[in-house]
């Protein structure tokens, strides 16, 4: 009786309705290459929708809650914590995109989540999807990228420097040296991912072929750089940034022979949180094509 009253008080206090509370069909840690990885799935039906969160994103942050609530009734929806995040263990040894994708493939097998998969990635979550599709194309039936990081952007960020042909002032040289040291040194980012070797995986992985693909941008996602070099920027560096952005954006928008490009009305990066209905609609669009 007391337990029931506490649950009722919690629901009233926090505005949680009974229909919002859904139980996972899969929830737990699975050992993959000596690392325990946490995964949760909701629903049962195939094809399974596999969510790849953005950089630093976890199962518990709740950004995908409304999307999962809507879609789990007709399809299984899974989301997991990469190593070094959430409930998953810390990575061991060298850790890059190759490790992440190997982990994901084995994790899905051990959790009993059989293909085909509709792969959904937000921001940096677009990166594992490209390599996963390259290695296991037979397992991927459709792809949705939500406000993704441009493929190649990390390598382009480094290649903007050309110390042999440019002359930099002291501050610019200091910035260059710091970026190059981070690029070639031990990973110092939140997820401990080696971005340099990860970028090689992206560069060498195939495009999506004729796999159905939706590219969903936030309202203001497309960058329109100034023609005039901003203050404190070296002109040649600025031109390389503009050129690489244009090239990488074009590649992003031509990855598949079956591509749909669309924009949310929200300017927010976390479209799945601020405008979940468009994410749901685009996933359903892909499901209807299968």
Domain extent, residue 93, equals 17-150+191-223+252-289
pLDDT at position 7 is 45
Three-class secondary structure assignment of 216-259: EECCCCCCCCCCCCCCCCCHHHHHHHHHHHHHHHHHHCCCECCE
Quick one: what percent of the chain has pLDDT higher than 90? Answer: 84
Residue 115's domain is classified under what CATH number?
3.40.50.1820
Please report whether residue 182 resides in a domain: no
The domain total for the chain is 1
Please report whether residue 37 resides in a domain: yes
Please report whether residue 159 resides in a domain: no
Whether the predicted pLDDT of 17 surpasses 90: no
Please report whether residue 173 resides in a domain: no
- pLDDT category, 272, cuts 50, 70, 90? very high
Whether the predicted pLDDT of 156 surpasses 50: yes
Please report whether residue 230 resides in a domain: no
Structure tokens at 185: 């040194």
Distance of CA 218 to the CA centre of its chain: 15
Structure tokens at 3: 């337990």
Q: How many CB atoms lie within 10 A of CB 240?
A: 17
pLDDT at position 188 is 84
- pLDDT category, 157, cuts 50, 70, 90? confident
Query: Smallest Cα–Cα separation from 24: which of 42, 8, 3?
Result: 42
Please report whether residue 283 resides in a domain: yes
Please report whether residue 246 resides in a domain: no
Structure tokens at 71: 């879609």
Please report whether residue 218 resides in a domain: yes
- pLDDT category, 11, cuts 50, 70, 90? very low
3-class DSSP state of 98: helix
pLDDT in tens, 215-257: 999 999 999 988 889 988 999 999 999 999 999 999 999 999 9
Mean pLDDT computed over 38-67: 97
Distance of CA 208 to the CA centre of its chain: 16
Whether the predicted pLDDT of 8 surpasses 50: no
111 compared with 180, residue with greater pLDDT: 111
Mean pLDDT computed over 46-69: 97
């Amino acid at each position: 009786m007391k337990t029931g009253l506490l649950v009722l008080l919690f629901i009233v206090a926090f505005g949680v309705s009974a229909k919002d509370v859904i139980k996972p069909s899969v929830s737990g840690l699975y050992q993959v290459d000596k690392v325990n990885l946490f995964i949760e799935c909701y629903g049962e039906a195939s094809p399974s929708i596999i969510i790849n969160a953005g950089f630093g994103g976890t199962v518990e942050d709740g950004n995908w809650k409304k999307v999962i609530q809507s879609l789990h009734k007709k399809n299984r929806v899974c989301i997991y914590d990469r190593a070094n995040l959430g409930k998953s263990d810390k990575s061991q040894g060298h850790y890059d995109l190759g490790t992440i994708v190997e982990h994901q493939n084995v994790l899905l097998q051990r959790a009993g989540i059989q293909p085909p998969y509709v792969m959904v990635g937000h921001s940096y979550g677009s990166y594992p999807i490209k390599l996963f599709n390259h290695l296991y194309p037979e397992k991927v039936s459709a792809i949705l990228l939500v406000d993704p990081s441009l493929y190649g952007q990390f390598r382009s960020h480094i290649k903007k420097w050309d110390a042999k042909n440019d002359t930099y002032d002291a501050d610019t040289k200091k910035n260059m040296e710091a970026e190059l040291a981070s690029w070639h040194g031990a990973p110092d980012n939140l997820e401990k991912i080696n971005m340099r070797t990860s970028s090689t995986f992206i560069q060498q992985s195939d495009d999506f072929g004729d796999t159905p693909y939706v590219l969903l941008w936030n309202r203001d996602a497309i960058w329109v750089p100034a023609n005039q070099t901003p203050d404190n920027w070296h002109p040649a560096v600025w031109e390389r940034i503009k050129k690489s952005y244009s090239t990488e954006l074009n590649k992003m928008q031509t990855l598949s022979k079956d591509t749909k490009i669309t924009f949310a009305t929200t300017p927010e990066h976390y479209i799945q949180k601020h405008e979940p209905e468009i994410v749901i609609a685009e996933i359903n669009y892909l499901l209807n094509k299968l």
